[in-house]
A = this chain, B = another copy of it.
Amino acid sequence: MGHRVAVYGASGYAGGEVVRLVDAHPDLETAYLGAHSAAGASLRSVHPQLGGGERVLGPIDPEACGDVDLAFLALPHGASAPVGVALAERGVKVVDLGSDFRFATPGAYTAAYGTDHPHPEELGRWAYGLPELFGDRIAGSDRTAAPGCYPTAAVLALAPLLAAGAVDPEGIVVDAVSGVTGAGRGARADLSFGAVADGVRAYGLLTHRHRPEMEEAVTAFAGTSVEIVFTPHLVPMQRGILATCHARWRGGGDPAATLRDAYREARFVEVIDEPPQTRWTVGSNRCLLAAYLDDRTGRVIVLSAIDNLIKGAAGQAVQCANLMLGLDEGAGLSVAGWMP
A181 at the interface (CB under 8 A from B): yes
Partner of A189, one of B173, B185, B296: B185
The complex places the Cα of A246 from the Cα of B227 at a distance, in Å, of 14
Are the CB atoms of B198 and A238 closer together than 8 Å?
yes
Binds B, one of A1-9, A97-105, A272-280: A272-280
**Chain copies in the assembled complex:** 4
Are the CB atoms of B180 and A240 closer together than 8 Å?
no
Are the CB atoms of B188 and A192 closer together than 8 Å?
yes
- Nearest B-chain residue to A277, judged by Cβ: B201
Known: A201-B275, A202-B303, A238-B198. A337 touches B49 (CB 8 A): yes
Partner of A242, one of B195, B201, B206: B201
A23 at the interface (CB under 8 A from B): yes
Residues of B within 8 A of A23 (CB): 336
The complex places the Cα of A297 from the Cα of B188 at a distance, in Å, of 32
Partner of A244, one of B186, B194, B202: B202
Are the CB atoms of A49 and B282 closer together than 8 Å?
yes
The number of chain A residues with a CB under 8 A from chain B is: 77
Min Cβ gap A314→B in Å is: 12
A68 at the interface (CB under 8 A from B): no
Are the CB atoms of A275 and B236 closer together than 8 Å?
no
Q: Which of A173-197 contact B (CB under 8 A)?
A: 173, 175, 177, 179-181, 185-189, 191-197
Most chain B CB atoms below 10 A, which of A192, A282, A303, A339: A192
A229 at the interface (CB under 8 A from B): yes
The complex places the Cα of A23 from the Cα of B283 at a distance, in Å, of 14
A335 at the interface (CB under 8 A from B): yes
Most chain B CB atoms below 10 A, which of A180, A193, A205: A193
Residues of B within 8 A of A116 (CB): none
The complex places the Cα of A189 from the Cα of B187 at a distance, in Å, of 4
A319 at the interface (CB under 8 A from B): no
Are the CB atoms of B195 and A340 closer together than 8 Å?
yes
Most chain B CB atoms below 10 A, which of A23, A179, A248, A296: A179
Partner of A185, one of B24, B173, B194, B281: B194
Are the CB atoms of B206 and A279 closer together than 8 Å?
no
Are the CB atoms of B205 and A334 closer together than 8 Å?
no
A257 at the interface (CB under 8 A from B): no
Q: Mark A152-182, 1 if CB is under 8 A from B, else 0.
A: 0000000000000000000101010101110
Residues of B within 8 A of A13 (CB): 194, 340
The complex places the Cα of A243 from the Cα of B99 at a distance, in Å, of 30
Partner of A198, one of B171, B173, B231, B240: B240
Known: A173-B173, A297-B171. A197 touches B336 (CB 8 A): no
A71 at the interface (CB under 8 A from B): no
Min Cβ gap A198→B in Å is: 4
A254 at the interface (CB under 8 A from B): no
